[in-house]
Amino acid sequence: MAQYGFYVDTSKCTGCKTCQVSCKDDNDLPIGVNWRRVYEYGGGDWVKHEDGTYTNDVFTYYMSISCNHCATPACTKACPTGAMHKREQDGLVVVNGDVCVGCRYCEMACPYGAPQYNHEKKHMTKCDGCFDRVEQGKKPICIESCPLRALDFGPIDELRAKYGDRADVAPLPNPSLTNPSLIIGTCRNSRLTGDETGKIQNPTEVGL
């Protein structure tokens, strides 16, 4: 089975959120539903010295995450209807909106916040990897709209050959849980999964 996936270069991302907005626009998503979210992860502190000067060790970086179309998705395993399924032809995880009952169990199970409940449609929705665009030989809208060229998409084997195989960067969970088709390019501030020195700085914006 082919498996498509994403590459996110956190050393290039400036947190402009064009990817998030272009996705929202292209898929006509209502308020509160964001198939792609840019998490601002940061931490650190200021220390006052004896001579009255200050130094700081604050850090931050941006993590643009949609759905990682995991090799062993928690959402499809949880789904009681089979509406949440993995496509044979490209490994993309999509929801069949005509079957979904809207129980939101996939939302509980996914550690990446990918499945999102649409209050207007009353069923789950999520990033579908823009499979319609991919079938036409284009890349997903988020990739093509990124002004920093920080995102990439393609067969995960090819991406891994090009960018490596790292997805254990905070605030992401341990990749062994769901085997995400995701590669993270690190930056000088990167903290590894399990880090406790930082936290997500824009919780309201990403829908927490």
Partner 1 sequence: MSQLSLVFFTVLAQSAVGLFISLGLVQLLARPNEKAMTRAFMAVLVMLGLGAISSVTHLGQPFRMFNVMFGLEHFSALSLEIVGLSLFGGAAGAYVGMRMFNILPKLQNLVLLGGMAAGILFILLIAQVYTLKTVPTWNSGWTSFQFLMTAFVVGPIAAIALLRAQAKELGDHVVKLSTNGLAVTNMIALAISMTGYVGYLFWLGQVSVFGNPFEHLGYGQLLGMLRTGLMMFAVMALSISTLRGGKSPVCGIVSLVAVLAAEIAGRMFFYDIYMSASAGM
Please give the span between the terminal C-alpha atoms of the chain, in angstroms, as a whole number.
Answer: 34
Tell me: does residue 167 bind partner 1 (CB under 8 A): no
In the complex, what is the shortest distance from the CB of residue 81 to partner 1, in angstroms, rounded to a whole number?
4
Q: What tokens appear for 133 in the block?
A: 């665009």
From the list 2, 58, 161, 208, which residue makes contact with partner 1 (rule: CB under 8 A)? 208
The one segment of 27-35, 107-115, 152-160, 182-190 that binds partner 1 by CB under 8 A: 107-115
In the complex, what is the shortest distance from the CB of residue 12 to partner 1, in angstroms, rounded to a whole number?
21
113 vs 34, 96, 183, 203, CA distance in Å? 10, 18, 17, 12
The one segment of 26-34, 54-62, 87-95, 100-108 that binds partner 1 by CB under 8 A: 100-108
Tell me: does residue 108 bind partner 1 (CB under 8 A): yes
Q: How far apart are CA 205 and CA 208, in angstroms?
A: 8
The one segment of 7-15, 105-113, 138-146, 158-166 that binds partner 1 by CB under 8 A: 105-113
Could you tell me if 198 and 59 are in contact, meaning their C-beta atoms sit under 8 angstroms apart?
A: yes
Tell me: does residue 153 bind partner 1 (CB under 8 A): no
From the list 19, 95, 151, 170, which residue makes contact with partner 1 (rule: CB under 8 A)? 170
46 vs 52, 96, 102, 198, CA distance in Å? 12, 49, 46, 14
Name 60's bridge partners: 42
Q: How far apart are CA 122 and CA 35, in angstroms?
A: 16
According to DSSP, the β-strands at 46-48 and 54-56 are: antiparallel
Total residues at the site for partner 1 (CB under 8 A)?
46
Contact residues: partner 1, CB under 8 A? 39, 41, 65, 74, 76-83, 99-105, 108-113, 117, 121-124, 170-174, 177-178, 194-196, 198-200, 203, 206, 208
